[in-house]
Every structure is written in structure tokens, then in C-alpha cells.
Amino acid sequence: LLRSIGRASYAAYLVHLPVLTAVRDLSLPQLGPSLSMALAALAICVFSVAADIFIVRPTARWSRSVSNFIIIKNCVLLEAV
């Protein structure tokens, strides 16, 4: 549970500023502040899920594979010495 919360909060951290800026720049004046904030919150949720699926998880998988490769390579080198 804590890992999922951490991943979601990291994804929200990645997207919140661009989303808030876009909503501010694209919002129509007649929407009002409450609807603009609701739109921003919804957009942050949607883009956070997308960032988690398409950016955070693949990057984490890639970095683990690189890290494992380096560890295995170093172990093999140490055995050769």
C-alpha cells in the first residue's frame, strides 16, 4: 500500500506543475475558480496515472536491469581476480 502511494505521489509530483499551468492558461473565464480547480485535480489524476504507466514504471524496470547487469559484471570480475 505504501509503495503504491509513493509511486502515485511521485507521478503527481512530476505532472502537477505543467498541468496546473496548462489549466490556468487554457481555462475559460466563465468556468470560475471552483470548476477550474476541479478540472486541474482531475487532469493531475489522469496524467499521474499515465506518467506512472508510461514513464515511471518503465524507467524503474530499466534502471533495475542496468543495476543488476553492473552487479553481475562486477561479481564476475571479482571472481576472475
Residue 40 amino acid letter: A
Joined together, the cell numbers standing for residue 1 give 500500500
Residue 1 Cα distances to 5, 8, 69, angstroms:
6, 11, 29
pLDDT single digits (tens) 5-62: 888 899 999 999 999 998 888 877 778 888 888 989 999 999 999 999 999 899 988 8
pLDDT at 80: 65
Q: Is the pLDDT of residue 81 over 80?
A: no
Instruction: Indicate the pTM of the whole model.
Output: 0.71
